[in-house]
Chain A
């Protein structure tokens, strides 16, 4: 063997169309996890205005809530959180060795459930904004 060819990692994400359910669940779980960590920081930033005073906090909140884009971001946050929770439950069962044959179905179920909850929440989140 004089030489060999390393096809590298390039193919990995270029082949996303061929990914299976378990792989998608993993990607979504990672992604939503990072989004939640990111949110945590903005959450802390907003909450810390309360250390300045109650009015400062109220002003920040109402200022943010009056922006339409913030309302939409909140819907997105809910979607991310709900998926992360549901898939987390799915992973808990996987860790316990329960229902591993149905791991793809439970992934689809968590997607559908997330969708349903998010759609149901839209009126609450957008009320008063539009």
Chain B
């Protein structure tokens, strides 16, 4: 009996130690990779014609050294066509694998990498490093921060929950009153109507506009430019019918709806998809007035 126990213990201990060994080996390997990447960065930096500093906001509540927000600066060798997202990925891959940011499509489609670059909201993947400099070309330093007015979860990652809640509040889905009567069951849209809502349909839910709006910053209940633009897309869609449009107007003309907008044009300025947000908000204001002012 006793031998059995010791055998079992021994086996466990052995297993433990192999496990331990494997972990250490993996760790050493990771360290090696890190060292290699850092070395590679050094040669890159030596070879590069132009190097710029990427100054990145860092915060991580789970790590003592990063509990207090700070900025880290990484030297990045410039390559032609480099975007801010490329630079971030370079820093992550060569200097600090814990550098955290969202990205996916790398072509201004998914809307996941809206960042605060040199004090303005930009999509990381759509912003060329050279465009941030002056006529000389590449800037000496680029400052990248998470979107303002949103809670920072880690490094450049912000909590988007509130933004999504506001988007949902305007019921952002096509919802027609009745189906067309013809034999064809498709919901046809006229060319003119399509043109009208074309720009509003381009939104990629990046949240840049909401982050730039200081009315939205002061009034948490304000629907915000993206949600109002979304409402515009459906309210202006002729196929939905009059009743549905009425319901939509009621949502947007509520206390924290279109009337909060004070036409600062901040959202229009930063929208990476060039949506004329202020124009759409103003048009909805006029729709709301027309809807309520009836002289007959």
For A23, what are the chain B residues with a Cβ–Cβ distance below 8 Å? 214, 264-266
Contact indicator B151/A4 (Cβ below 8 Å): yes
Contact indicator B152/A20 (Cβ below 8 Å): no
Q: Which of A1-46 contact B (CB under 8 A)?
A: 1-7, 9, 11-12, 15, 17-18, 20-23, 25-26
Contact indicator B266/A4 (Cβ below 8 Å): no
Contact indicator A5/B151 (Cβ below 8 Å): yes
CB distance from B149 to the nearest CB of A (A): 8
Decide: A100 near B278, CB < 8 A? Known: A22-B266, A26-B262: yes
Is B127 interfacial (CB-CB < 8 Å)? no
Is B180 interfacial (CB-CB < 8 Å)? no
Q: Which of A51-59, A65-73, A91-99, A116-124 contacts B (4 or more CB under 8 A)?
A: A91-99
Decide: A5 near B62, CB < 8 A? Known: A22-B263, A22-B265: no
* CB closest residue in chain B, given A9: B217
Give the docked Cα–Cα distance between A15 and B120 (Å).
Answer: 10
Mask for B118-142, Cβ within 8 A of A = 1, else 0? Answer: 1110000000000000000000000
Is B286 interfacial (CB-CB < 8 Å)? yes
For B13, what are the chain A residues with a Cβ–Cβ distance below 8 Å? none
Contact indicator A20/B119 (Cβ below 8 Å): no
Is B244 interfacial (CB-CB < 8 Å)? no
Contact indicator A18/B263 (Cβ below 8 Å): no
Query: Can you pick out 21 interface pairs between chain A and chain B where the beta carbons lie within 8 Å of each other?
Result: A1-B159, A2-B62, A4-B152, A6-B151, A7-B69, A12-B148, A20-B269, A22-B263, A22-B264, A22-B265, A22-B268, A23-B214, A91-B263, A94-B263, A94-B282, A95-B286, A96-B286, A97-B283, A100-B278, A100-B282, A103-B265
Q: Which residues of A contact B (CB under 8 A)?
A: 1-7, 9, 11-12, 15, 17-18, 20-23, 25-26, 91, 94-97, 100, 103-104
